[in-house]
Amino acid sequence: MKILFSPASPYSAKARMAARYCGMDYTSVATDTNADPRELTDSNPLGKIPTLIDDDGTVVYDSRAIMQYLDRKSGKKLYPRNAAKRTEAEVFEALCDGITDCLLAMIYEIRFRPEDKIHQPWLDRQWSKVERALDQLNDNLPRTTKKLHGGHFALAALLSYLALRFEGRWERGRPKLKNWPAKFEKFFPEFDNCKSQA
């Protein structure tokens, strides 16, 4: 199994952590999406990461599709079997991914638009969504034990991306959220090797 990834990508971090947690033997293949490498574009016409290529040739892309694939392949290790608890974990994952979407949209706006074309009200709108959702997370963190689920990995990926790109802008007033990665790492020591990095 291969996971094509980018070191800074939070969605790559989520998928790689989940694969490790599920006990999957995989190779991480650092991939420059701007170069449109054939291994990526032949597998995923969108040219996006993460993209998982399994030993039997199965290709899965989009981090949430990868998470569901890993759950099925591992014998339901990644999400609760109880329907209500599974829905709760999936909604929590969606919230974390939604925050990540806003953060990435902000980064792309700043990075790829000429400075005189950057639309500050739009950036402010994205940041207001981020702050509202982070407050929600701070007040409603999931129980974190050795039995982890997809939402935990989405949260870990989100917080590592915040630490990478938005350090000092989100921590104030959110002590539970700020301290959560240390708790998570106790149950998932591989966190430091999989999180978003420059």
pLDDT in tens, 96-117: 999 999 999 999 999 999 999 9
pLDDT tens string 22-81? 999 999 999 999 999 999 999 999 999 999 999 999 999 999 999 999 999 999 999 999
pTM: predicted TM-score of the whole model, two decimal places: 0.96
CATH 3.40.190.10 fits 2-73, yes or no: no
- In terms of residues, how long is the chain? 198
- In which residue ranges of the chain is CATH 1.20.1050.10 found? 83-194
Which is nearest to 123 in space by CA: 163, 88, 166? 166
Which is nearest to 14 in space by CA: 88, 68, 80, 56? 68
pLDDT > 70 fraction of the chain, expressed in percent and rounded? 100
User: What Å distances lie between residue 121 and 52, 55, 128, 131, 133, CA to CA?
Assistant: 37, 46, 10, 15, 18
Q: Report the CATH architecture of 83-194.
A: Up-down Bundle (1.20)
Contacts with 47 (C-beta within 8 Å, 6 or more apart), sequence order? 33, 36, 40, 41
The stretch 176-194 carries a mean pLDDT of: 96
pLDDT at 64: 96
Rounded-to-integer distance, Cα 53 and Cα 44, Å:
10
- In which residue ranges of the chain is CATH 3.40.30.10 found? 2-73
pLDDT at 198: 81
